[in-house]
């Protein structure tokens, strides 16, 4: 019989993205060694939390509203939002360790104290986030997986959207930014099925960025290459 779980009880979850790129600089290695553990949101991994006990977000952020950014890339948007909104606590999730190291450097420089970092698969984080605990979520320029046979790997599929909907409060806001037209198509098909309403009323609502937006390096690359950003806003039902 084929096992469908790890010895810890964790479900087998295929992960297709990059976990590490080119070698880290000495300063980035120091950020990981010195800062990452203190910025953990709590026991997320199956080895440290096999019972999948929910995170104590009240203790973590002192009762502040909780936001979530899934796949923060180099962390510029995450640090920007933390600086603009010290009244909230933000968890960033990113399995690509080079991006995590970049974020830690930005956190040191900005001096923001309302961020926590999960350097791993967001599906593991969804397991331990309390139900209806997140008031805003960001999915910005996710991996497009352009080949048709790979579309099931995209974030805008039930495997990701259903647990995301579980942890978001009624009325919570979900922002998705992408420069891939077919990703827009799939998002508009799948996100409402998970319990979200698309909030656009006119073309400007998806053609123009949000008022507190900061253009990321991924967006700048898309613009240089002639691709058009789309900014999709959904509301949890």
On the question of pLDDT at 115 being above 70, the answer is yes
Number of domains in the chain: 1
Query: Would you say residue 222 lies in a domain?
Result: yes
pLDDT in tens, 44-78: 989 899 999 999 999 999 999 999 999 998 899 99
Q: What is the pLDDT of residue 31?
A: 86
Q: What is the pTM of this model?
A: 0.91
Q: What is the chain's percent helix, strand, coil content, to nearest 5? A: 40, 20, 45
Residue 37 lies in a domain: yes
Is 198 inside a domain boundary?
A: yes
Domain around 173: 26-236
- Residue 12 in any domain: the answer is no
CATH number for 138: 3.40.50.150
Catalytic residues: 143
The answer to the question of residue 10 being in a domain is: no
Does 4 fall in a domain?
no
Would residue 15 count as lying in a domain? Answer: no
Q: What are the Cα distances from residue 147, in Å, to 46, 117, 171, 182?
A: 32, 30, 34, 10
């Amino acid at each position: 019989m084929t096992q469908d779980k790890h010895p810890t009880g964790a479900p087998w979850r295929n992960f297709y993205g990059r976990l590490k790129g080119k070698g880290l600089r000495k300063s980035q290695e120091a950020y990981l060694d010195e800062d990452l553990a203190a910025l953990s949101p709590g026991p997320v991994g199956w080895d440290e939390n096999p019972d999948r006990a929910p995170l104590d977000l009240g203790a973590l952020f002192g009762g502040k509203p909780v936001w979530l950014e899934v796949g923060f890339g180099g962390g510029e948007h995450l640090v920007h939002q933390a600086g603009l909104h010290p009244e909230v606590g933000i968890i960033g999730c990113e399995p690509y360790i080079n991006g995590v190291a970049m974020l830690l450097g930005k956190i040191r420089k900005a001096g923001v104290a309302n961020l926590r970092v999960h350097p791993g698969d967001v599906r593991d984080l969804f397991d331990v986030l309390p139900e209806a605990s997140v008031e805003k979520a960001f999915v910005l320029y996710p991996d497009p997986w352009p080949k048709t046979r790979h579309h099931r790997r995209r974030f805008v599929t039930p495997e990701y959207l259903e647990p995301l909907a579980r942890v978001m409060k009624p009325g919570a806001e979900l922002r998705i930014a992408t420069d891939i037209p077919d990703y827009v198509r799939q998002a508009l098909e799948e996100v409402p099925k998970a319990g979200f309403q698309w909030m656009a009323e006119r073309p400007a609502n998806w053609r123009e960025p949000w008022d507190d937006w900061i253009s990321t390096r991924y967006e700048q690359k898309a613009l240089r290459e002639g691709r058009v950003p789309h900014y999709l806003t959904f509301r949890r039902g």
